[in-house]
Chain A
Amino acid sequence: MPYILATEGLSKHFAGVQALRTVDLKVQPGLIHALVGQNGAGKSTLVKVLNGVYPAGSYEGTVRLHDAPVRFSSPADARACGIAYVPQELQVLENLSIAENIYVGQTGLESKALVRFNELNRRAAQVLSRLGVALDVRAPLASLSAAQKQLVMIARALATAPSVLMLDEPTAALSVHETDRLFLILERLRSEGVTMILITHRIPEVLALADWATVLRDGQIVAEIPRADFHEDAIVSAMVGRRIDLLFPPRDTPIGTEEVLRVERLRVPRPGGAADIISDASFSVRRGEIVGLAGLVGSGRTEVLSAIYGRIAHEGRVFVEGREIAIRQPADARGAGIALLTEDRKNAGLLFNLQLGRNITLGNLHLFANHGLIDRDREDTAARASMRSFEIKAKSIRADVAHLSGGNQQKALLARVLVHTPKILLLDEPTKGVDVGTKQEIYRLILELAGRGLALIVVSSELPELLGMCDRFLVLSNGTIVDEFTKADGSEERILQATARGPVRQQIATA
């Protein structure tokens, strides 16, 4: 059978670590080919070989495009051969227009030294209409939502008229609604004959969209499954190498009666004066209770946590164990026993200039210091203990955090916020970009912390996860709490309905 893109015996090493071993990927034309696997399974490495980030010569084996061996020396090479790549992180120029963002780096639209803007805008509009998206191509990127920016990234890839389009976790930053719309767009592209490689670790997406799934584990292909044989259990067990029978451990500890956290009339004004980001939110969390904060991306979920933690300017009153706390900066919140696990590990979590162990002890050095002098033995002992109890897989506490997988990075950050046990723990997307195995460890940890009497607030875009984990739910829409219910009344439908009830501020305009 002719494959549009294939690899033969592809292997790649990084300083002692084998990231890929003899991978034979086979992608058929015109299909959506899912590439699934846990973090660290080798998906990203494989993709980076395919799109020239790792140049020919830095790996072993052959890459074949349309049956002919190809050797890319750069992403530009791969692009020229018809391989387009949409990275997971948004790479956009906020100050340029949509059209300019779509055609950035592509030549041929200039007459001599001048850009022909009319032509540029016309072509950009064509690409967007192909995606079924109605946006003004002259609008600056900064005015778009994250989901719309994601679409501009896809449009940029499409503008090169690729024969293979690779999408790396395209739904990572999208809400349920936005994901559905994106899927419609991908299906439309498939009907036009575009071959797509979808890199993901969300199994429902594979089930919903893909025609074929290749499962990677530890740098090897462990399963190649056609759509006819798709089954959630089969894919999950191939990914983890063991069956997951129980994703959510049972809740067996009682919820206390005492209010640990009370928030009254929380308001977060929007810089620039338009509608508030959070308006008039009041709620409380009891000892040992896990409260889930649901809502679309942009509904203000993260901002509620940020405001309580003193990360952003806000109004309103916050009480911890009945005592009002003035929180102007994170240090105030920490002092009151509040801890925050941020969503963005890269920019608001890890310190890449410090080793793993020092990332864990960061902010709690006073526990290992006498009069400002760090006792390194005590610090290292504590870091090692954290590494063991959180099962962080790394060579030692001296490891470079940049080289850890997403799951291990997240465990390191959890270890950090729990070095000094807080009373209140705020978790923003605690399982984002984390493999299935680690997810379960995080669920277990969250329940254990609740059992120890912590009050927890969890933000998550994955509704099954939220429903499985939390005792009570608050649904946010446009910065307002629009619904509140307990686990007994909780369902995906109820959350989605509550979300839909609020006026939707910004959606992808789909034709």
Chain B
Amino acid sequence: MQPTASPRLSRWRLGALVLALISGGEAGVCIALAALVVVFYLLNHGFLSEVNIRAMLDAVAYVGIIGVGQTVLLVAGEFDLSVGSVAGLCAVIAGWLMTTGHVPVALAVLGGLAAGALLGLINSIVVVRFGIPAFIATLGMLFVAQGLTQVITNGYPIYPLPDVVGNFGQATSLFGIGWAFVILLVLLVVGDFAMRRTTLGRNIYATGGNKEVARLVGINTNRYKTVCFMLVGMLAATAGMLVMGSLASATTSIGQGWELTVIAGVVVGGVSLFGGVGTVLGGAMGMLLLQVVQSGLVVVGVSANWQQVSVGVIMVLAVGLDVVRRKLSFRQVHSVSDVASLLTDLEVATERRTIQRSVGATDDVRVTTTEHNIERGRDS
């Protein structure tokens, strides 16, 4: 059908096309990422120095590993705020096992993974069985895991760990990049493939798209959600133990502040907070984008205060883009109530952050940004 084009209409369509491109998930985030890289490179060629690239990839590796799981869980229609403190607790458990527990390192690592799976299972039982919203359930787990970390360590890092741990954590693979990044790459390939090409992945999309529809076609949605929660727990444990390796010490601060970084990152990458939409690759691109912004600002010498502002803006965009994307695709009318519940969630997040700040956490950046989110959401 050849439309009879009037100038106004074709302009309107062009605008829609641009918007669709921006909000198109992977393509959009790739373009944004490339643009940012070019800008930072032009501002300071040092941005693309070997050292800085290596530093960025190493830094994104830990949260990126969790991001793979968080993406899958978000697609399934749930999310996990406890990833940071689960990472910390699992690292501490593994560290305790291999020192005080005198367990061989390999078994201790398996113990850490098992702990992550168990914590994920508990999250899923609370959410799926007892119907407590994921936000509250995993927020509770965040506190519980943080507390248990203190119980185990009494606030002191577990140190020294067997040499092999630190050697692995500080070892480099190809091009001098750490093993964590290699693990991330493997997880990305496997995760992306599984979500795109397997019945498991498709059924997870169905579960997050509409749980009732999925149930009606015979999908055991509860089981899928449980598996996803356990996956996130294990990946959080993996990331936590990798940081422990790089520090050669199981400190109590491992994983602090990761939860919102991970969610903001994958949402920037096109993963919907409302379930059913997003890809593992896109989520990883989003996390990389956040990392590029943070490193880029350091490299071009912007003062720390402005860096915080930028991170905040990006995080607001994370939610904003998701809302725009939903509007563009004429989704179901539930968005209003979804946004409302999301805002409630963010309010609780703000509260938690405030509490954490008062007990001495350093990253109060996110307090400000979540408040921005809420303000913005109310206006629209």
Binding site for B on A (CB under 8 A): 13, 15-18, 57-58, 60, 89, 309, 311, 329-331, 334-335, 340, 342, 346-354, 358, 362-366, 369, 372-374, 376, 400, 402-403, 416
State whether B205 touches A15 (Cβ < 8 A).
no
Taking a contact as CB atoms closer than 8 A, the residue among A342, A352, A373 that contacts B216 in the complex is A342
State whether B1 touches A16 (Cβ < 8 A).
yes
Set of chain A residues within 8 Å of B214, measured between Cβ atoms: 351
State whether A352 touches B209 (Cβ < 8 A).
yes
Taking a contact as CB atoms closer than 8 A, the residue among B6, B9, B210, B330 that contacts A403 in the complex is B330
State whether A351 touches B206 (Cβ < 8 A).
yes
Taking a contact as CB atoms closer than 8 A, the residue among B13, B16, B200 that contacts A372 in the complex is B200
The reply to whether the CB of B213 lies closer than 8 angstroms to some CB of chain A is: yes
The reply to whether the CB of B12 lies closer than 8 angstroms to some CB of chain A is: yes
The reply to whether the CB of B197 lies closer than 8 angstroms to some CB of chain A is: yes
Set of chain B residues within 8 Å of A58, measured between Cβ atoms: 12
Which residues of chain B (167-216) have a CB below 8 Å from chain A? 197-200, 202-203, 205-206, 208-210, 212-216
A331 to B217, CA, bound (A): 7
- Knowing A347-B210, A365-B199, A403-B330 are in contact, say whether A13-B215 is a contact too (CB < 8 A): no
State whether B329 touches A349 (Cβ < 8 A).
no
| CB of B207 to closest CB in A, whole Å | 10
State whether A348 touches B13 (Cβ < 8 A).
no
- Knowing A351-B206, A373-B198 are in contact, say whether A18-B16 is a contact too (CB < 8 A): no
The reply to whether the CB of B276 lies closer than 8 angstroms to some CB of chain A is: yes
Which residues of chain B (58-95) have a CB below 8 Å from chain A? none
The reply to whether the CB of B277 lies closer than 8 angstroms to some CB of chain A is: yes
State whether A331 touches B218 (Cβ < 8 A).
yes
The reply to whether the CB of B126 lies closer than 8 angstroms to some CB of chain A is: no
| CB of A396 to closest CB in B, whole Å | 15
Set of chain B residues within 8 Å of A352, measured between Cβ atoms: 209-210, 329, 331-332
A376 to B213, CA, bound (A): 22
Set of chain A residues within 8 Å of B209, measured between Cβ atoms: 351-354
Chain B residue nearest in CB terms to A413: B213
Set of chain B residues within 8 Å of A402, measured between Cβ atoms: 329-331
| CB of B219 to closest CB in A, whole Å | 7
State whether B198 touches A347 (Cβ < 8 A).
no
Name the 6 nearest CB pairs between A and B, nearest first.
Answer: A363-B217, A353-B276, A353-B209, A331-B218, A351-B209, A365-B199
A347 to B334, CA, bound (A): 10
The reply to whether the CB of B359 lies closer than 8 angstroms to some CB of chain A is: no
| CB of A400 to closest CB in B, whole Å | 7
Chain B interfacial residues counted at CB < 8 A: 36
A94 to B105, CA, bound (A): 57
State whether A331 touches B6 (Cβ < 8 A).
no
The reply to whether the CB of B3 lies closer than 8 angstroms to some CB of chain A is: yes
- Knowing A17-B1, A365-B202, A403-B330 are in contact, say whether A376-B216 is a contact too (CB < 8 A): no
A402 to B326, CA, bound (A): 12
Set of chain A residues within 8 Å of B329, measured between Cβ atoms: 352, 400, 402
Chain A residue nearest in CB terms to B198: A372
A342 to B215, CA, bound (A): 13
State whether A347 touches B217 (Cβ < 8 A).
no
- Knowing A17-B1, A18-B3 are in contact, say whether A348-B213 is a contact too (CB < 8 A): yes
16 CB < 8 A contacts A-B: A15-B13, A57-B8, A60-B6, A60-B8, A331-B218, A335-B218, A342-B216, A348-B213, A351-B205, A351-B213, A351-B276, A362-B213, A366-B199, A369-B199, A373-B199, A400-B330
A335 to B218, CA, bound (A): 9
State whether B9 touches A13 (Cβ < 8 A).
yes
The reply to whether the CB of B302 lies closer than 8 angstroms to some CB of chain A is: no
Taking a contact as CB atoms closer than 8 A, the residue among A18, A349, A364, A374 that contacts B1 in the complex is A18
State whether A353 touches B208 (Cβ < 8 A).
yes
Chain A residue nearest in CB terms to B215: A330
A376 to B206, CA, bound (A): 17
A373 to B330, CA, bound (A): 31
A346 to B216, CA, bound (A): 13
The reply to whether the CB of B151 lies closer than 8 angstroms to some CB of chain A is: no
Interface centre among B13, B206, B208 (most CB of A within 10 A): B206
State whether B205 touches A354 (Cβ < 8 A).
yes
A400 to B209, CA, bound (A): 14
Set of chain A residues within 8 Å of B219, measured between Cβ atoms: 331, 363
The 0/1 profile, CB within 8 Å of A marked 1, for residues 253-279 of chain B is 000000000000000000000011100
Taking a contact as CB atoms closer than 8 A, the residue among A16, A334, A400 that contacts B3 in the complex is A16
State whether B9 touches A60 (Cβ < 8 A).
yes
Set of chain B residues within 8 Å of A330, measured between Cβ atoms: 215-218
A366 to B203, CA, bound (A): 11
Chain B residue nearest in CB terms to A416: B217
- Knowing A358-B202, A363-B219 are in contact, say whether A347-B212 is a contact too (CB < 8 A): yes
A153 to B333, CA, bound (A): 17
The reply to whether the CB of B49 lies closer than 8 angstroms to some CB of chain A is: no
A400 to B330, CA, bound (A): 10
Which residues of chain B (260-310) have a CB below 8 Å from chain A? 275-277
Set of chain B residues within 8 Å of A403, measured between Cβ atoms: 330
Interface centre among A329, A335, A351, A374 (most CB of B within 10 A): A351
The reply to whether the CB of B220 lies closer than 8 angstroms to some CB of chain A is: yes
State whether A353 touches B205 (Cβ < 8 A).
yes
State whether B199 touches A374 (Cβ < 8 A).
yes
Taking a contact as CB atoms closer than 8 A, the residue among A13, A89, A351 that contacts B333 in the complex is A89
- Knowing A363-B219, A402-B330 are in contact, say whether A372-B199 is a contact too (CB < 8 A): yes
| CB of B130 to closest CB in A, whole Å | 18
- Knowing A60-B9, A363-B217, A372-B200 are in contact, say whether A348-B212 is a contact too (CB < 8 A): yes
Set of chain A residues within 8 Å of B331, measured between Cβ atoms: 352, 402
Chain B residue nearest in CB terms to A352: B331
